[in-house]
Structure 1
Amino acid sequence: MSLLEAVNLDDSNAFCEKIINEIHSVFLNDTELSGFEIIPMPSNTNKSPVIHVEHNLGLQSWCVKYIYEYSHRTILRHKSDYQKISGGSVPASGAANSSGHCSLLMTGNGSNSIVKYLNCAILINPDVATFWNLRRQLFAKNRLDITKEFQFSTVVLSKKPKSNEAFAYRRWLYLFQSYDAIDWSFEIALCEKCADKSTTNYHAWCHRQWVVMKAPYLLKFEIHKTEKFIRKHVHDYSCYNYRQFVLAKMQERLHFDDDEGSHFNELLRYVNALVDTPMETVEELLRWLAPGVCKDKTVDIKLRSFLFCLNVAANDLMMCEELKSLHGESQAFENHRRYMTRFIVDRCRSASCTLTREMGGQMSSCTQPMNKITKLDEQDSLFVQTMIQNEKNREHPQHQKWCELFLEG
């Protein structure tokens, strides 16, 4: 008998319970379950609609409506029982309600646990905050295992990679994990997988920002990973925006990657092409970028970070031109190029403030934050003036306006 026939006979509950229990069994027994998908199947084939192959779970589409509606009704029906439990009043085991169903005791793995209904409801529709909040309450009562909860949210994201609720749930779970026990690299990989499956995935990139703020040692890897992603998804501006965030964090934390050496080749190439003056050494480069700074009076780590971050920005400026030549015009290329242009200009303008050593308890005469510094053309280095003029020469009315607002001060 098919589920559709069972509906007409008011016998659908038994069929829904059978399917939900099958799905629940998969979650209980497959510790490596990693994916979920709804498989197009317009009608019942008199076989189980639950498909479990190589750590992936599938549910045939013909039964999705009935499973979701039944799970939703069951969760709402027993929500009052759950609220009693979360408040400390636990109903007697096996007590039956007026509809004939056993009370949901929230045991986490019992056959009557609300978890199995939550699993199905969230898998089918992960955007309902009420379902996730019920899971939080269950977890807070030690009814759920944290490892399985991370696994469950990963499975949800395999089907709905833009699920903000799933990402938020993971961040909440991490409040109960010690820092040393967290695999931050896995979290980065999960974000990338979700972004790869769904373009402009705002929630995945925001979650990734959260990860690198919690584990800033990952910043050194993000420059390479994001460039690789950009070259694969050239028009997805979300990654460009995240890369800008990474660069800003590097500058804020005075990051310098020793593995990258100290030659700053991309920056040298960019500056040489712009000012048409051959230079080969860091000293020559510094004279162009920050002529008012004496290398002997700078903090070494600040200088190395300053040049490293500018090197990344110069690399991106050239990358944008390369992508433009390969793929044509794109607003993503232009917006990213503008950000990196302004980044270089602002860093060069503030160099005398940020690089000078603290002597006698006082810094150099420049103590105001960058946004308070008067930006007059005559105060700019020759390189910055040349860079701004080069931008102003680009024939585009909107770009001219941008130059006036963000470069000329």
Structure 2
Amino acid sequence: MQEDFFPAAEKILSDIENVLKKNPNLIGFEIIPTLDNENKSPVLHVENSLGLASWSVKPLYRYAYNRLLELRQNRNKREDPSTISRWLLGALLLNPDVTTFWNMRRELVKNGRLESTGELHFVAIVLYYKAKCFEAFAYRRWLLQFMLIGDSHTSNVETILEREMTIATISADRYANNYHAWNHREYIVTTFQNSSPENYVEFLKSEWLSSGEWCSLHISDYSGFAYRQFLIKKLLQINRNPEQPTRPETTCREILTNFLNLDIPSLMNAPSHEVLNYLHSTSGILPRHDVNYSAILAGLSYWVEECLFNEELLNLYPGHEAFWYHRRFLSHLLIVLTISYERYSVYKIELIDQKIPRLCSKDVIETRGVNFRSKYSPSHLETAYSRRNSDIIDKARKIGGHQNVMGERFAKFLSGRGLVV
């Protein structure tokens, strides 16, 4: 086609390909605004950065796109795999949102024409340029699955997955509210759990700390807090295993007593199930022999820790909606944990994603009334949480403005769920 005639296209694509092959430390790719100048190479390579002059972007992409489209439409046409790879390189680097081109690259990997490790490097460069590209993240996860199936990569699986965390962090830093990056991070956590269970607890604790630091630096980005919610669920689940404690029991009890603002020596020395019965005001519940109550206590301490972290951010940075919406999740989680403990004497994490009315089965309705959150006395844990919420809302009212608006909305949210303000 005359409109995609660009004599320099193959030379430019070859130059880009050579840079990627020769520099394994290449970090990213950018389009450099320049005036028309076809007498100079548009490919710029400075240290660990790759650039392409803006005047060449449109004709280069049109050339690669049309070549690939012709190849896709004419299945009988044969082309050298290295040439196809080069066309795909240019097309995806400039526009990584085309699913068909990623599928063509998958075919090259499965046929042994492209090496998986090199592909991970290429996708990292694509994500540096377009950090919120779903197709790039999907292809990256496919590559990881493809690699982890092979025996040759099982020895360095932790190194591979930890590198993925770095890629996800860079993408989240470069694009606000990048849920694709955080979803990728969630995928890596789950993959790590299945691939390296012996080191999973330490990995999860490391994620808990690092994500907290990230959220402290990106106070308006709710996607980071959504990831924290995912981690809380994981931490509650991992504590089912008595052989993998996430923190010392003494630390858990100190966090809980400080939250209640009570100096009760018996809480530091009593059996774990008695502490939980006190917190939930369920003294009549007898301990089950098949339950690790120390693990349940540790899981609850993470919820408390997150409430305190949330309060600190609300006080330091008033007016940010992300903090208020995150606290709604913490409120919902408290209700779920309370109902779960009263019904099963354990925390059933499977209930968290359910709507509150669905948790209200016939036996709960009979014991608590139709409005089951308002027809019974709150537990010690709920009382302490409500007291802290009252302080937060009062401060929001004093500050006024948008902070007051968010505080009133939160108060209405709590009231609608039977949590006293």
Gaps of at least 5 residues in structure 1 are 1-8, 86-90, 92-103, 357-368
Does the 8 A contact of 1:388 with 1:407 survive in 2? no
Q: Alignment length, in residue pairs?
A: 364
Instruction: Give the AA of the match of 1:343.
Output: L
Q: Secondary structure at the match of 1:14?
A: coil
Does the 8 A contact of 1:36 with 1:155 survive in 2? yes
Instruction: Give the AA of the match of 2:382.
Output: V
Alpha-carbon distance between aligned partners in 2 of 1:131 and 1:25, rounded to the nearest angstrom: 20
Structure 1 pair 56–397 and aligned structure 2 pair: CA distance change class (3 A) = closer
Give CA deviations for 1:40-74 in whole Å, capped at 9, x if unaligned.
Answer: 22332843221223332211212111211111122
Alpha-carbon distance between aligned partners in 2 of 1:51 and 1:304, rounded to the nearest angstrom: 59
Does the 8 A contact of 2:97 with 2:133 survive in 1? yes
Alpha-carbon distance between aligned partners in 1 of 2:36 and 2:205, rounded to the nearest angstrom: 51
Alpha-carbon distance between aligned partners in 2 of 1:253 and 1:84, rounded to the nearest angstrom: 53
Alpha-carbon distance between aligned partners in 1 of 2:383 and 2:324, rounded to the nearest angstrom: 21
> Is the deviation greater in 324-333 or in 118-127?
324-333
**1:250 aligns with one of 213, 218, 235:** 235
Q: Secondary structure at the match of 1:31?
A: coil
Structure number with higher helix proportion: 2
**1:378 aligns with one of 352, 376, 388:** 376
Instruction: Give the AA of the match of 2:76.
Output: K
Does the 8 A contact of 1:313 with 1:341 survive in 2? no
Does the 8 A contact of 2:235 with 2:302 survive in 1? no
The 5-angstrom pairing of residues 165-244 of structure 1 reads 165-178=135-148, 180=154, 181-182=156-157, 183-216=160-193, 217=200, 218-244=203-229
The corresponding residue for 2:321 is: 331
Structure 1 pair 39–302 and aligned structure 2 pair: CA distance change class (3 A) = farther
1:130 aligns with 2:100: yes
Structure 1 pair 352–319 and aligned structure 2 pair: CA distance change class (3 A) = same
Give CA deviations for 1:141-184 in whole Å, capped at 9, x if unaligned.
Answer: 32221111111111111111111001000111223222635321
The corresponding residue for 1:116 is: 86
The 5-angstrom pairing of residues 270-309 of structure 1 reads 270-272=259-261, 276=262, 278-279=264-265, 281=268, 283=270, 285-292=275-282, 297-298=287-288, 302-309=292-299
Does the 8 A contact of 2:131 with 2:172 survive in 1? yes
Alpha-carbon distance between aligned partners in 1 of 2:293 and 2:409, rounded to the nearest angstrom: 34
Does the 8 A contact of 1:293 with 1:351 survive in 2? no
Does the 8 A contact of 1:191 with 1:208 survive in 2? yes
What is the CA distance between 1:30 and its match in structure 2? Answer: 2.7
Structure 1 pair 75–378 and aligned structure 2 pair: CA distance change class (3 A) = same
What is the CA distance between 1:117 and its match in structure 2? Answer: 1.2
The corresponding residue for 2:354 is: none
Gaps of at least 5 residues in structure 2 are 194-199, 347-357, 366-371, 395-406
Alpha-carbon distance between aligned partners in 2 of 1:195 and 1:11, rounded to the nearest angstrom: 36
The corresponding residue for 2:56 is: 63
Alpha-carbon distance between aligned partners in 1 of 2:343 and 2:208, rounded to the nearest angstrom: 26
What is the Cα-based RMSD across aligned positions, in Å?
Answer: 3.1
% of aligned pairs identical? 30
Q: TM-score, normalised by structure 2?
A: 0.76
Larger Rg: 1
Structure 1 pair 401–259 and aligned structure 2 pair: CA distance change class (3 A) = closer
Q: Which runs of 4+ in 1 moved over 6 A?
A: none
> Is the deviation greater in 156-165 or in 397-406?
397-406
Q: Secondary structure at the match of 1:215?
A: helix
The corresponding residue for 1:95 is: none
Give CA deviations for 1:204-262 in whole Å, capped at 9, x if unaligned.
Answer: 11111111122231322221011011011011000101110111122233368746322
What is the CA distance between 1:295 and its match in structure 2? Answer: 10
Instruction: Give the AA of the match of 1:240.
Output: F
Give CA deviations for 1:113-139 in whole Å, capped at 9, x if unaligned.
Answer: 111111111111111112111112222
Alpha-carbon distance between aligned partners in 2 of 1:329 and 1:37, rounded to the nearest angstrom: 35
Alpha-carbon distance between aligned partners in 1 of 2:85 and 2:414, rounded to the nearest angstrom: 56
Q: Secondary structure at the match of 2:34?
A: coil
**1:160 aligns with one of 120, 130, 139:** 130
Does the 8 A contact of 2:246 with 2:298 survive in 1? no
The corresponding residue for 1:363 is: none
Alpha-carbon distance between aligned partners in 1 of 2:408 and 2:419, rounded to the nearest angstrom: 15
Give CA deviations for 1:268-309 in whole Å, capped at 9, x if unaligned.
Answer: 21111xxx5555616385353134368993569732332222
Instruction: Give the AA of the match of 2:192.
Output: A
Q: Secondary structure at the match of 1:161?
A: coil
The corresponding residue for 1:14 is: 7
